[in-house]
Amino acid sequence: FNSTYKPLKDSNGEVYAIIHASMDVTKQVQLQQQKDEFLGIASHELKTPVTSIKAYAQVLERMIRNEGDEKKANMVRKMDQQLNRLTGLIGDLLDVTKIQSGKMTFNPVEFDFDTAVEEITGEMQHISSKHRIICDLTSRAVVYADKERIGQVITNFLSNAIKYSADADEINVATFTHDEEVILSVKDYGIGISEDMQHLVFDQFYRVGGNLQHTYPGLGLGLYISAEIIKNEGGRIWVESTVGQGATFFFALKIKSFR
């Protein structure tokens, strides 16, 4: 039940009655749970066929390439790339249902932070031939966290940096230490985020506004999921930006030791 109390006062300010209003919210809560469950089942069901199509597309590309038809092989590669996007979107939906039901799991391990960042930037460099991802990784820190999930946050920062800086050709990635923390930064030279919007970007469903929505597709979930991951790992996440000049996204984690 949702209850509210309102005292009624006479002209001397004495309370002579109290109004109590109470609303049964069982139905609302049930509907919300059903919606969350549906989202979970729907994204899970979507994942299976997409994974299968992706496997076939990869085999097909290899076969066509072996036959020497580069043009057709490149078309299948384009299909595969779009399937990656679809897999990412479905993964985000699944993660959101996990967060909402408190079922997102974390498997912490000790790992070398700089090496993990280097691996991911290497993978992401293949995705954008336009941007040069320049790394300055000097932390030498070892952290104790879920490596996959931390990788997911770094990938999210990098794919946003690529997406929101289409006219730029450089992205800077750095790791450094401050007090007890290791900090990662991803700096781009793109559209940036106005100061009054900066605190909103980590909210669920918050997206770039106006007609820019068509230019930059997305669900507005990536940074929300990233923030949940970093919070769960006991870290901090934030952004600094100037509109039209670019944005720098950061997160900080506790250092376990040094390599």
| Torsions phi, psi for 66 (to 5 deg) | -65, -30
How far apart (Å, rounded) are the C-alpha atoms in residues 81 and 7? Answer: 62
Task: Choose one: 109-117, 125-133, 170-178, 218-226; the region binding ligand ADP (CB under 6 A).
Answer: 218-226
Q: Which residues pair with 171 in a beta bridge?
A: 133, 188
Q: Which of 222, 229, 237, 251 binds ligand ADP (CB under 6 A)?
A: 222
Q: Which of 85, 83, 80, 154 is nearest to 115 (CA)?
A: 154
Residue type, 110: E
139-178 binders of ligand ADP (CB under 6 A): 160-161, 164
Q: Which residues pair with 89 in a beta bridge?
A: none
**In whole angstroms, how close is the CB of 239 to ligand ADP at the nearest point?**
8
Q: Which of 258, 233, 218 is nearest to 154 (CA)?
A: 233
Is residue 224 a contact point for ligand ADP (CB under 6 A)? yes
Please, which residue, 146 or 188, has the CB nearer to ligand ADP? 188
Is residue 189 a contact point for ligand ADP (CB under 6 A)? no
Taking the CB of residue 115, how many other CB atoms lie within 10 A of it? 12
Q: Which of 76, 99, 153, 221 binds ligand ADP (CB under 6 A)?
A: 221
* CB-CB contact of 20 with 5 (8 Å): yes
Task: Choose one: 53-61, 138-146, 175-183, 189-197; the region binding ligand ADP (CB under 6 A).
Answer: 189-197
Is residue 40 a contact point for ligand ADP (CB under 6 A)? no
Q: Which residues pair with 15 in a beta bridge?
A: 9
Please, which residue, 139 or 156, has the CB nearer to ligand ADP? 156
Please, which residue, 61 or 248, has the CB nearer to ligand ADP? 248
Tokens of 226: 């990233």
* List of residues contacting ligand ADP (CB under 6 A): 160-161, 164, 188, 190-193, 201, 206-208, 218-224, 247
